[in-house]
Amino acid sequence: MTTSSFNRRAFIGRTALAGIGVALAGSVDTVFRPAVAAAQPGLGLGYGPLVPDPAGILALPVGFSYSIIAKSGETLLDDGSPVPSDPDANGVFARGATTVIVTNHEVGSDEPFGVPVVDGITYDPGARGGTTTTTVGPNGARQGQYVSVAGTVNNCAGGITPWGTWLTCEETEAKAGSKGFTLDHGYVFEVDPASQAANVGKSGIPLKFLGRYAHEAVAVDPATSAIYLTEDASGPNGLFYRWTPPQGFVGGPGALHALAKSPGGDTAGSLQAMKCFADGVHVPDLSQATVPGVRYTVEWVDVPDRDAKSTPVRKQFTNEQVTRSRKLEGQWWGHGGAYFVASYARTSDGSVAEHDGQVWFYDPATKTVELKTLFGVNPDPAVDTGNYDGPDNITVSPHGGVILAEDGEGVSHLIGVGEEGDPFVIARNDLNDSEFAGPAFSADGRTLFANIQTPGIVVAIRGPWRRATGGSSFGS
């Protein structure tokens, strides 16, 4: 989720060429709320128009409210240290009557508040990123927050495992010796939300079998423990990967750590890159899909050197061997497959066509990938009239459909995708133009947690969430 100098808020539409809106394959569930005079006009879909926030932080529909769970540099961790900068993706878990949030901190080297080094859970003491874990009581009050992995770099997105842990991803290819790092970076780490003690000797172990590259997000197949991974990289553009566990592997608490520490664990299982075909013809780049509903068959190509000892993984393939995509970002498992996002594409960066957002769905049963949502041209990203673009993090809503977090320049929103392909706004950042990140619901579906990355605010959004009736292209 690194910031690009290119204005990502330049495109959104019914097609990748023109118009305003969002195109979808099929439909998704939505909820309708009546408009009110105090709300902003022109945003009447979904839960209704937004009411500007008197505090100037978060505009929400009528009936919704928010509370601030933590703020970087101001809220204190249990050890007295300030909460780290740049909260990004969240993993949300239930523990009895409480909710536990594992938050990535996309800290590279010069952010004001780094993740404190903690004995037993630090990978590289020369690095300042990591995760913190927050406990929220049944009344919504924050009970505590501690470091759950430290010494990592640019912890961007990640994913929840079927056995109730969080996989946090480093979005970097930095090697030892750069920026004061003592070890190579670009790995995935597993965090246990149970307690800080549960991570001692574990969360700082890199899962090297998942490869070393600019990881963004993961999704885990509960049936097979296969792990799908996105890569946010350019020059050339990144890839979509699948890790297949070795024979006899059974996913569960501690299984990935045990595999990583086992003989040959660095190369355990099979790491492969996606190659797509349209009617038998190779698809070089996902951006060439300009009509929602396009479906490609998928083959998987073995990665030669997953640790990228001399050549970055994506550069180990020619364009004829794999299918690339610019800005592969968030990912979430739901409805029997992996939803993943391409935030934008430009011909200037090597993409085949231009767009400002795609949502894809990989179906392991059919070995196909289908374009579900397409964002096209946005003629004026500074005007907040229902134009949305630059999707990044994604979550599948328990109330139907999906929720996307915008990342880019201009007005920033949390977006739902509703019936008949219409997007609707859930929240607007009234504080600044920083990206939203980390949307994820509590287990009971009553609270949506999300982050405003700068200045680093974690919020809990509550309101009249409910499931809509009708069909959904995203399942229901």
**pLDDT tens for residues 238-297?**
999 999 999 999 999 999 999 999 999 999 999 999 999 999 999 999 999 999 999 999
DSSP state letters, 123-178:
S-TT--EEEEEEEE-TTS-EEEEEEEEEEES-EEEEEE-TTS-EEEEEB----TTS
Q: How far apart are the first and last CA of the chain?
A: 28
The least confident of 166-170, 400-404, 440-444 is: 400-404
Question: Residue 331 pLDDT > 70, yes or no?
Answer: yes
Residues 6+ apart with CB under 8 A from 37: none
Among 361, 354, 395, 402, CA closest to 378: 354
Q: CA-based diameter of the chain, in Å?
A: 66
* φ, ψ for residue 455, nearest 5 deg: -85, 10
The least confident of 25-39, 103-117, 190-204, 352-366 is: 25-39
Mean pLDDT value across residues 385-397: 86
How many angstroms separate the CA atoms of 460 and 70, rounded?
10
pTM score of the predicted model: 0.91
Mean pLDDT value across residues 10-33: 30
CATH 2.120.10.30 fits 23-462, yes or no: yes
Q: What dihedral do alpha carbons 388, 298, 323, 396 form, nearest 10°?
A: 20
Cα–Cα distances in angstroms (integers) from residue 454 to residues 107, 395, 440, in the given order: 12, 21, 18
Q: CB burial class (10 A; 0-12, 13-18, 19+) of residue 338?
A: buried
Give the model's pLDDT for residue 422: 65
* φ, ψ for residue 293, nearest 5 deg: 100, -15
Q: In what order do the strands lie in the sheet with 188-191?
A: 155-160, 166-170, 188-191
Mean pLDDT value across residues 373-391: 78
Cα–Cα distances in angstroms (integers) from residue 63 to residues 34, 57, 128, 245, 316, in the given order: 11, 16, 39, 46, 52
* φ, ψ for residue 84, nearest 5 deg: -65, 165
The residue length of the chain stands at: 476
Mean pLDDT value across residues 445-465: 96
Counting DSSP H helices and E strands in the chain, the numbers are: 1, 28
Give the model's pLDDT for residue 377: 62
Q: What is the pLDDT of residues 130-153, one digit of tens each?
A: 999 999 999 889 999 999 999 999
How many angstroms separate the CA atoms of 28 and 278, rounded?
25
Give the model's pLDDT for residue 420: 55
Beta bridge partners of 171: 214
Q: What is the pLDDT of residues 52-95, one digit of tens each?
A: 999 999 999 999 999 999 999 999 999 999 999 999 999 999 99
How many angstroms separate the CA atoms of 42 and 28, rounded?
21
Q: Between 382 and 320, where is the model more confident?
A: 320
